Structure 1
Amino acid sequence: MVQVLNGNPYNRKFDVYSFGICLWEIYCCNMPCPDLSFSEVTSAVVRKNLRPDIPRCCPGSLSNVMKLC
């Protein structure tokens, strides 16, 4: 995702990151950063390596897939 947000060519890494975020959203039934605007999320992902916290109650196998993404 960082590559795309920085204006670099699209590659599979973006799909993998997006899949991990989709898994998180489905499991949590929420948006990862509801209090931030799109530009704030974009900046935090690129500059601060922002990632949503995975709940402790999340099954280990699903948590591992999210972390790998």
Structure 2
Amino acid sequence: MWKETVRALQTGALAEVAVVAFVVAFLLVVVYAFTLSKRTREEIKRQPLDDAAEFYPEPPRNGTAEETDHA
């Protein structure tokens, strides 16, 4: 029953467009990966182990009224 339903969908042109879009997207990702600098590759490689300081910045420690509690 499912095979007959899939055959009846008539998605020939749509499937071809999807394959072409996938191949183009895949090639763009591969080209991007090969053009990264060594420093960027190292940063990306270590990203899961980082403490993510850019998302949780340290509060200022100069003793002024600007100090805030990031609790």
Same fold (TM over 0.5): no
Bigger radius of gyration: 2
Q: Normalising to structure 2: TM-score of the pair?
A: 0.24
Higher RCO, Cα 8 Å, sep 6+: 1
Q: Normalising to structure 1: TM-score of the pair?
A: 0.25
